[in-house]
Amino acid sequence: MMGAAQKIEERYRVTGMDCAGCAAKIDRAVRRIEGVEDVSVSVTAGTLVVQRRPDATIEGPVSSSVRALGYGITAAPRSGAAVPAAPVEDHDHAHDHEDHDHAAHDHSGHDHASHDDGKAEAALAGMHGHDDAEDGELAWWQTPKARLTLLAALALAVAFLVTRFAPGLGHWPYAVAMLVGLVPIARRALAGARYGTPFSIETLMTIAAVGAVCIGASEEAAMVVFLFLIGEMLEGAAARRARASIRGLATLLPKTALLEQGGGLVEVGAETLVVGAVIQVRPGDRIAADGLVLAGTGSVDEAPVTGESVPKKKTIGDDVFAGTINQDAVLRVKVTAAATDNTIARVIRLVEEAQEAKAPTERFIDRFARFYTPGVLVVGALVAILPPLLLGASWDEWIYKGLAILLIGCPCALVISTPAAIAAGLANGARRGLLMKGGAVLEGLAGIDRVAFDKTGTLTLGMPVVSDIVPAGLDEREVLRLAAALETGSNHPLARAILARAAADHITVPAAEALAALAGRGVEGTVEGRRLFLGAPGAVSLPEALGAPAHALSGEGKSIAVLTVDGVPAGLLAMRDGPRPDAKAGLAALREIGIEPLMLTGDNRRAADAVGAELGLDVRAELLPADKQGIIKELQQSGHRVAKVGDGINDAPALAAADIGIAMGGGTDVALETADAAILNDRVGDVAELVRLARRTLRNIHQNVAIALGLKAVFLVTTILGITGLWPAILADTGATVLVTLNALTLLGFGRRT
């Protein structure tokens, strides 16, 4: 009984998956295998997780099925432990990044021949055009898909020249050129049909191309096949970059750490650190592990993990995170988490889990084809056969009408209607600095009703600026001049803010002497014979004239620095990370189109509330990456379609969990690659522009589908009534193709709202 209540989890790496359609094919094929209880396929992570009965042997059938579909597969290391039949979240087992180190995987070394149908399947995979090399190893033009697309383009060009110099050959040169791209597509269609997906997009393409050749429209068939191959190639390139970006998260961690050992320091690999080890972190170094400060006091830049805009002061007993940057003091840190469970590793797992949680969705045409294509075949056959059999009508006449109906039903216009609109929408966006990763993103953006913004670097500029100067005994310019003298040469964010304000106010900064940094307090030095100090308010006893303003400014979420001259407080400088100039207008634009914004930030509550109050925005503050992801999921469970806008690594899990992730262009590579869309101009208002473009594109797609199907319906009726024949029936497809293409091109003129 115990064995029947358990499942064994098998984990595989799969190469060549580019989209949800790929995942759906693999899912259906593996589910048909005897003994398989559940299947989870992640396109982004490149993984296949199969739960099987304890008494089932599935590795051979799984590998055979996946390879037959044209994908590479290899078993990943697994623990072999049984998992309860009830759903559980065994993240340590299912998402251990060490268990699927893509970079270490060399698919070329696999012995396909060791499997039953290995040689045939390996050859088939090569013809399919799926990339059988490890993601990121090949440039886009080196991939099998790119080579196939370029070969199809060359064949099309040759056919064009042949028909010009030998017009007597008719349309057959185009038919031969079409076969270059169609043969791999047709073989994928046959493999899909064998393993549970008979009416895939490949099936549609094969039927469309063959039908066009049969009625002499080989030129159109060759062009449609070529456009399909271009789309497949671009889709594959995007998928490879997304997978590489997730692996790139690990590069945030230093490769080495200074371990205290035998009374000295030994440089060791960061991945070898164990819980309880003690390391030293020098100023400017990234912290190699999550830990607890044992000695030292200094500032740590936590922006990579929490999004905190200003470095945090750390002293004995404080927690520090892996991947954060120690700024100005040597810290002794006791390791509290192994490399496989530190902050960055958890972020990696969160991203992958969010990607796996997205159920594979089929393309619109693929879904529709389940009923459309077989329906057309049935209708054509019935029209050709029933009247002669039941009514004694002429066989020649009704077979002719049946062929015309098959021609009307050729899905070329349908196949091109959606990608034509998507291509025009993407081109329009790219021209305006609005990048989207494919048609699914456009469709998803159109349905968004909530947008969650990060604060630092997204709604705000991402850097502190001097917002207030409160003098006491000196004027404002003098306070700023002396403070800038002490901060000259410093790379601290607050120092840069003071120096930037001095430069903006055209202040000549004097030289400082005997500069000294006071750990955790501030900086002191001599300027023009006067002893100056600039630091935290807690380090100085403030008079009432400065105490009340300092308290008020601090309550607004601003960072305060106090300047003293010869021991006497002479002024305050307040700094904050202010909203972007267009933030308020951008949020208003979202509300105008029915979308409610909110802020999710790792920054401190006072700073977040101050920005939220200024922008009129609901605020959730002091959040870790997992907290942001959890709030996104709560909104989704409430029935909302949620977009997440961010620019940092700490936003990656939430970007992946959201229905649509949007990265600001000034953000990290990880945010840009994990997100579904990117705003290169760093304008908050462009979020509303993205949604407007997506909604307009979706309307265009609906119009195109209506045109394609509407013309077919008209000619279907006229053909059955004997009003039109084969040649007019061609207009049901070629005419529709022209119309939907022209309609799609109108998207190129869709511009920014004035």
Q: Rounded CA gap, 652 and 644, in Å? A: 10
Q: Position 275: which residue type? A: V
| Cα distance between residue 109 and residue 114, in whole Å | 12
Contacts of residue 466, Cβ cutoff 8 Å, sequence gap at least 6: 480, 497, 498, 500, 501, 573, 574, 575
CA angle 179, 184, 185 (to 5 degrees): 90
Distance CA 371, CA 570 (A): 80
Tokens of 228: 């399909």
Residues 609 and 619: beta-carbon distance below 8 Å = yes
Q: 386 — phi, psi (to 5°)?
A: -65, -50
Residue 644: beta bridge partners?
Answer: 452, 661
Beta-bridged to residue 257, according to DSSP, are 268
Q: What's 260's DSSP letter?
A: E
Residue type present at position 243: R
Q: What are phi and psi of 551, to 5 degrees?
A: -65, -45
Q: Tokens 């797992």 correspond to what residue?
A: 349
End-to-end CA distance of the chain: 69
Give the whole-angstrom CA distance, residue 328 versus residue 278: 19
**CA–CA separation, 385 vs 288, rounded Å?**
75
H helix runs in 505-651, sequence order = 544-555, 583-592, 605-615, 625-637
Which of 454, 577, 603, 647 is an active site residue? 454
Structure tokens at 519: 């750990």
Q: What does the alpha-carbon distance between residue 389 and residue 386 come to, in Å, rounded to a whole number? A: 5
Question: Is 701:418 a contact under the CB 8 Å cutoff?
Answer: yes
The DSSP element (H or E) to which 68 belongs, if any, is helix 59-68
CA distances from 264 to 215, 291, 329, 332 (A): 83, 20, 19, 13
The pairing of beta strand 618-620 with beta strand 596-600: parallel
Identify whether 454 is a catalytic site residue: yes
Q: What are the φ/ψ torsions at residue 531 (nearest 5 degrees)?
A: -85, 120
Q: Which stretches within 195-217 are classed as H helix?
A: 201-214
Q: What interhelical angle do 583-592 and 605-615 show, nearest 10?
A: 60
How far apart CA 23 and CA 36 sit, in angstroms, is 16
Tokens 């094969």 locate to 206
* Residue 606, φ and ψ in degrees, nearest 5: -65, -45
Backbone angles phi, psi at 98, to 5 degrees: -65, -25
CA dist 446 and 99 (Å) reads 37
Task: Dig out the tokens for 685 from the structure.
Answer: 């208002």
Q: Which residues are catalytic?
A: 454
